[in-house]
């Protein structure tokens, strides 16, 4: 489960394109931040993705990936040209294949090979037609789904939604957000040539005039129970309300938001309807990482938590420049996992009511983020030394705050909430550092 959103320059305060995403996955699944440099390959080489091999490009671009530690692909990320993509699980009436490219594989390939949002759209469509989508994407459970994508560059954005081999695409005009549901209706800019005729043949609609992609192709049961309608509606309401003055602060507000029924109770009950998703039930996930991108010709500035639970986490500034030490390389997966798990302990201690003053921590966190914002506002983006200095200071300040808070923990674990919620989190925390049980995909 996830939520992704974008505001084009005609809808933001400073004319930049602002992209943001929460990744909602298994609470124990590390979402790591990995940087992969440009690479060249011999003609005819093959690329091993999560489950299948595909043709490799002769050159790939530099990318920053926020990815589950055990998968080749990524939930979200960017490349050296400022291209950004986020992936969503969607539930449709088409069959789920046992193998193929995962949506996260497709996302990474597009980032590695494309420069613009339209190029990435074409690449994703090509990959879907040539290799198909499929394979288990669950960390500690079998979980298969189809995929949607929000693609953005410095000037434009597209939504691509799929159902098996079929797809529809919509060019973003101002603001747009997607969740775990098909959201393109009867109007779209591009589509699979047989999209409508297939639906008519299946009896999902009467004719072309009656066609609505989301209504015809959605699995209504799984889509409803995903909580995606509430999350998408909540995100769209904020974007629409601040249209014309949207900033990264707007995106933080959305990514940290909770459904009205659970606001203030998020550490004692689960909620699939919250954009800042909190786990604790048989179905549903937990927000394991958050990401915001501000894209302009002047600079591409990223805000990354590197940790779960955005209502607790610190958004830290990041630039894709030489010499930074925040992102890990692909050979440092173990270190990246440890980084994520150390911050995840804050979330677990909050659930266990072992942090003496959560409000003091949150106040300190907000002060840190305000100081980061001031530093960014005063930047000369051509000064890479200053960018590195800000990143290093931000990372050190966040680490110090996290460690101070963890070291302040007192008492015995005392999880509040219902019986199942308490059992769920006790079991999850006990298994936090255990290896992933499934062995059907290689570790990175």
pLDDT at 433 (0 to 100): 85
Domain ranges of the chain: 2-407
Residue 86 tokens, joined? 């986020």
Residue 438 tokens, joined? 């499934």
Residue ranges in the chain whose pLDDT is less than 70: 437-444
Please give the span between the terminal C-alpha atoms of the chain, in angstroms, as a whole number. Answer: 22
Residues 2-407, CATH architecture: 4-Layer Sandwich (3.60)
Residues with Cβ < 8 Å from 228, sequence gap 6 or more? Answer: 1, 179, 180, 181
Q: Which of 337, 340, 360 is nearest to 350 (CA)?
A: 360
Distance from C-alpha of 288 to C-alpha of 192, rounded to nearest angstrom: 33
User: CA-CA distances (angstroms) from residue 376 to 5, 12, 17, 140, 385?
Assistant: 22, 17, 16, 39, 13
pLDDT at 434 (0 to 100): 81
Place of tokens 């798990």: 341
Q: Would you please indicate which residues are annotated as catalytic (active-site) residues?
A: 2
pLDDT at 443 (0 to 100): 41
Cβ 3 vs Cβ 76: under 8 Å: no
pLDDT at 391 (0 to 100): 98
Q: What is the DSSP string of 103-151?
A: HHHHHHHHHHH-SSHHHHHHHHHHHHHHH-BB----SSS----EEEEEE
Alpha-carbon torsion (108, 341, 275, 137), positive or negative: positive
Please, what is the angle between helix 228-241 and helix 248-255, to 10°? 160
Q: What is the DSSP string of 143-201?
A: ---EEEEEEE-SS-EEEEEEETTEEEEEE-SSEEEE-SS----S--SEE-TTHHHHHHH
Residue 352 tokens, joined? 């266990």
Exposure string for 96-132, b = 16+ CB within 10 A, e = fewer? bbeebbbbbbbbbbbbbbbebbbbbbbbbbebbeebe
User: CA-CA distances (angstroms) from residue 162 to 2, 124, 292, 296, 304?
Assistant: 16, 10, 24, 29, 28
Place of tokens 């769920």: 424
pLDDT at 444 (0 to 100): 40
Q: Which of 206, 99, 201, 188 is nearest to 148 (CA)?
A: 188
- Give the tens place of pLDDT for each residue, 264-306: 999 999 999 999 999 998 877 999 999 999 999 999 999 999 9
**DSSP for residue 2:** E
Within a 13 Å sphere around the CA of 407, how many CA atoms are in the beta-carbon half? Answer: 6
Strand runs (DSSP E) across 300-340, as ranges? 300-304, 316-318
Distance from C-alpha of 441 to C-alpha of 98, rounded to nearest angstrom: 13
Distance from C-alpha of 392 to C-alpha of 148, rounded to nearest angstrom: 35
Cβ 107 vs Cβ 73: under 8 Å: yes
pLDDT at 437 (0 to 100): 64
């Amino acid at each position: 489960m996830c939520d992704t959103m974008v505001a084009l320059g005609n809808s933001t305060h400073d004319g930049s394109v602002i992209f943001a995403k929460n990744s909602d996955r298994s609470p124990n699944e590390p979402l790591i931040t990995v940087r992969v440099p440009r690479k060249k390959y011999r003609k005819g080489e093959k690329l091993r993705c999560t489950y299948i091999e595909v043709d490799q490009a002769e050159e790939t671009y530099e990318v920053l990936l926020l990815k589950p530690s055990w998968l080749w692909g990524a939930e979200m990320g960017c490349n050296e040209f400022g291209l950004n993509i986020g992936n969503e699980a969607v539930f449709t009436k088409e069959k789920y294949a046992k193998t193929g490219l995962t949506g996260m594989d497709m996302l990474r390939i597009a980032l590695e090979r494309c420069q613009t949002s339209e190029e990435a759209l074409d690449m994703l469509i090509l990959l879907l037609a040539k290799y198909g989508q499929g394979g288990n994407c669950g960390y500690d459970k079998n979980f298969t789904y189809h995929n949607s994508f929000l693609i953005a560059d410095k000037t434009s954005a597209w939504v691509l939604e799929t159902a098996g081999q079929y797809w529809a695409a919509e060019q973003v005009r101002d603001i747009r957000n997607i969740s775990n549901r098909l959201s393109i209706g009867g109007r779209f800019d591009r589509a699979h040539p047989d999209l409508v005729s297939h639906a008519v043949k299946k009896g999902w609609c009467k004719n072309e005039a009656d066609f609505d992609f989301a209504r015809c192709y959605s699995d209504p049961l799984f889509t409803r129970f995903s909580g995606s309608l509430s999350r998408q509606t909540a995100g769209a309401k904020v974007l629409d309300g601040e249209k014309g003055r949207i900033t990264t602060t707007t995106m933080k507000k959305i990514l940290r938001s909770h459904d009205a029924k659970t606001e203030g109770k998020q550490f004692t009950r689960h909620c699939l309807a919250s954009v800042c998703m909190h786990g604790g039930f048989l179905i549903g996930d937990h927000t394991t990482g958050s990401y915001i991108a501000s894209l302009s010709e002047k600079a591409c500035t990223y805000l990354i938590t590197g940790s779960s639970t955005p209502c607790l986490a610190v958004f830290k500034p990041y630039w894709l420049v030489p010499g930074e030490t925040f992102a890990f390389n692909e050979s440092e997966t173990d270190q990246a996992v440890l980084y994520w798990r150390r911050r995840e302990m804050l979330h677990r201690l909050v659930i266990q009511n072992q942090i003496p003053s959560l409000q003091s921590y949150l106040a300190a966190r907000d002060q840190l983020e305000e100081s980061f914002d001031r530093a960014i506002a005063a930047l000369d983006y051509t000064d890479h030394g200053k960018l590195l200095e800000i990143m290093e200071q931000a990372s050190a300040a966040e680490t110090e705050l996290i460690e101070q808070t963890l070291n302040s923990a007192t008492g015995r674990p005392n999880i509040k909430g219902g019986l199942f919620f308490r059992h769920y989190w006790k079991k999850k925390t006990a298994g936090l550092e255990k290896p992933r049980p499934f062995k059907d995909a290689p570790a990175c």
